[in-house]
Structure 1
Amino acid sequence: MPSDAYSLIAAGKTDVGRARARNEDSFCIGASGDFAVVCDGMGGHAGGDIASRTAVEVIGRFLEDFTPPPDAVPPPPPDSERTLPNPADHNPALRSAVVVARSAVQLANQRIHGLNRQRGFADGRGMGTTAVGVWRIPGLPQMVVFHAGDSRLYRLRDGELKALTRDHSLYQAWLDNGGRGTAPQRNIILRALGTGEDLEPDVVVHPLLPDDVLLLCSDGLNGMVPDGMIARILQQPTDPAETCAALVDAANAAGGHDNITVVVARFAQQP
């Protein structure tokens, strides 16, 4: 596939919802459209909005400054479902990008953790944020996906919606262990930026195919809107901004119990 003839066309929207007084979500989209990040802040009066805003700013700047190495070579045609959790033996540009993405999230974690320390909060207290991001390396039909927490990345391909991230939550751990006994609350997060000095985000590489649609979202969307309805909205032939508005409207119509943030990106042929 001539990957340089395609680009990610993205738009985003954030909304306070119908139950919260403050919007603690943040998002950013790269100036060239090659990356997007969604963060869902935690901490309320302790500064969840500051944490999410700090994370998108730090991660965004870090990714904007990345330059692919000059010895990068085109990778072989990817299996449509292959991921590269350890890309050390693969394309140098992807190898560098995985390191950069992990470093960007870890720098954001250190920045927020430092703010908590300055305010006198011990580890596990104060403000924090989830983060999910996607970064398409220029010229390559692949994307680096990184996340910590329960904000998600979905991919719509050939009408099928698939979550490409797995929640770092107590509820997901309960499901993974067989779901025995009483289910824990869904909002107990096991991994987040700012709550400790060290953080290891999940970072993997996924292939991109023409007409893929990507959705990054905070749990204010997927916690209110079933995946089937999300898929139907993403399949509508609208531009990403209109799709974002429809998703936010659906979450609010279902109750809007949390802040809602979405980024929709379409991997499309350039005009």
Structure 2
Amino acid sequence: MPVPAPTAADTALCPNCGQPVSASAAFCEACGATLVPTEPAVSEPPAPTEGSAQTRRLGVRQSQVTTCSSCGGTIDADGYCQVCGAKAPSARDHYSETPADWVGGVCDRGVQHSRNEDAMALWAAGDRAVLVVCDGVSTSVDSDAASTAAAQAIRDVLVERLAQLSDPGQAATELAAAFVDAAAAANAAVIAVTSPNSTNAASATLAAAVVLGAEVHFANLGDSRVYFLSAADPVLLSLDDSMAQAFIARGMDRAEAEALPRAHAITKWLGRDATDIVPRTGVHTAAEPGWVVVCSDGLWNYASAPAELAAQLAAAGSESDDPVAVAAKLVEWANAQGGRDNITVALARCPAPAMPTNLESATPWVPEVEEQVENG
């Protein structure tokens, strides 16, 4: 192996004759004088930082977790198990929501990330539901705070606008406008939790769906996604704002584009430095029963194409059609593939069971597959 040439930091001058000598030499090669080797300067490592107040608040270990996952003992106020001494995970590392028996989701830290920067916010009443998933951009400061603030703001705006919806015939127009307003509210919420001194402003993606009877109204900004998976035609409803999607639009195969080194570089996001916060919107009418899936890239990384994700949904729903149980199985599967990112999966049956329907069945579809798709 070649040895790099010595630099000025590696040499010194002999105090007796003034000739250059190695900083670690015991004797001067020119005059033979005894030298006192100098100790190399050692820089102290920077003290570990705990992030801003928002990060400390969201990631604090003294959380709602009260039972030790290792031994079943009680977690004390200091965040450690009274029995085995293990530190409790943050409640934000893994949580679920189930506002109705046909709507639910799971948000998980994954395997390789040190904290969960995803967030979700769900709501349901009657035959209506709101599903929101936001993915904090890992390279930004306080991305976990950003995603949480954004998800809650979007849900709240959409719930309010649903309450004001009087004419179902105008739902597409009114909800498209509501999504734009929700994104603006989310952007303001993200900025509100961003330190004014931050040189890398907090940012996040958004994906949202409103289930209104047999209709799925959806919006996205960034690369979190909305799918509708049914027996006849599983479909990806949203369109990523990413470098991969830019290459797909030019004709590149999806699998090839999503394998590019910069595939996950997003071109739109929420945050103080965002230049375009208007989401794409659309509406899809279910011709047969299926599942609405709103997820972060921690899931679809391993099953991007609708047919691939449908196969994983089939496996996840083989034992139970409970949305939280199905979502948990999908999260477990993604973690088994490597869990390279945070994973969030929000699900809703569509049409909603509460909706009077003339469709053949409102039972959630679980396709039969001969072979499970392997990814990762």
- Tell me the distance in 1 between the aligned counterparts of 2:336 and 2:238: 26
1:23 Cα deviation (Å)? Answer: 0.4
Which whole-Å deviations, capped at 9, do the CAs of 1:121-152 have from their partners, x for residues lacking one?
A: 4xxx4211111000124xx5322201001111
- Tell me the distance in 2 between the aligned counterparts of 1:120 and 1:17: 27
Is 1:193 the equivalent of 2:289? no
After superposition, the CA RMSD in angstroms is: 2.6
- Tell me the distance in 1 between the aligned counterparts of 2:280 and 2:308: 27
Is 1:132 the equivalent of 2:207? yes
Quick check: which has more Rg, 1 or 2?
2
- Tell me the distance in 2 between the aligned counterparts of 1:20 and 1:229: 25
Q: Which residue of 2 aligns with 1:108?
A: 186
Equivalent residue of 2:219, what SS? strand
Query: 5 Å matches for 1:71-82?
Result: 72=167
1:197 Cα deviation (Å)? Answer: 5.2
Percent of aligned pairs with the same amino acid: 29
- Tell me the distance in 2 between the aligned counterparts of 1:269 and 1:107: 31
Alignment check: 8 A CA contact 1:58 1:104 kept: yes
Which structure 1 residue ranges, 5 or more long, are not aligned?
1-6, 74-90
- Which stretch of structure 1 is more off in the superposition, 227-236 or 198-207? 227-236
Q: Which residue of 2 aligns with 1:86?
A: none
Q: Which residue of 2 aligns with 1:4?
A: none
Is 1:232 the equivalent of 2:306? no
Is 1:52 the equivalent of 2:138? no
Give the counterpart letter for 1:34 in structure 2.
A
When normalised by structure 2's length, the TM-score is: 0.59
Equivalent residue of 1:93, what SS? helix
1:68 Cα deviation (Å)? Answer: 3.5
Greater share of helix: 1
- Tell me the distance in 2 between the aligned counterparts of 1:136 and 1:255: 32
When normalised by structure 1's length, the TM-score is: 0.80
Is 1:165 the equivalent of 2:238? yes
Q: Which residue of 1 aligns with 2:334?
A: 251
Q: Which residue of 1 aligns with 2:175?
A: 97
Give the counterpart letter for 2:263 in structure 1.
R
Equivalent residue of 1:214, what SS? strand
Give the counterpart letter for 1:133 in structure 2.
A
Equivalent residue of 1:106, what SS? helix
Q: Which residue of 1 aligns with 2:113?
A: 20
1:160 Cα deviation (Å)? Answer: 3.7
Q: Find 2:122's aligned residue among 22, 29, 34.
A: 29
- Which stretch of structure 1 is more off in the superposition, 223-232 or 239-248? 223-232
1:262 Cα deviation (Å)? Answer: 0.3
Which structure 2 residue ranges, 5 or more long, are not aligned?
1-99, 356-376
1:117 Cα deviation (Å)? Answer: 6.6
Q: Which residue of 2 aligns with 1:176?
A: 249
Give the counterpart letter for 1:100 in structure 2.
A
Query: 5 Å matches for 1:134-149?
Result: 134-137=209-212, 140-149=213-222
Alignment check: 8 A CA contact 1:240 1:264 kept: yes
Equivalent residue of 2:266, what SS? coil
Q: Which residue of 2 aligns with 1:212?
A: 290
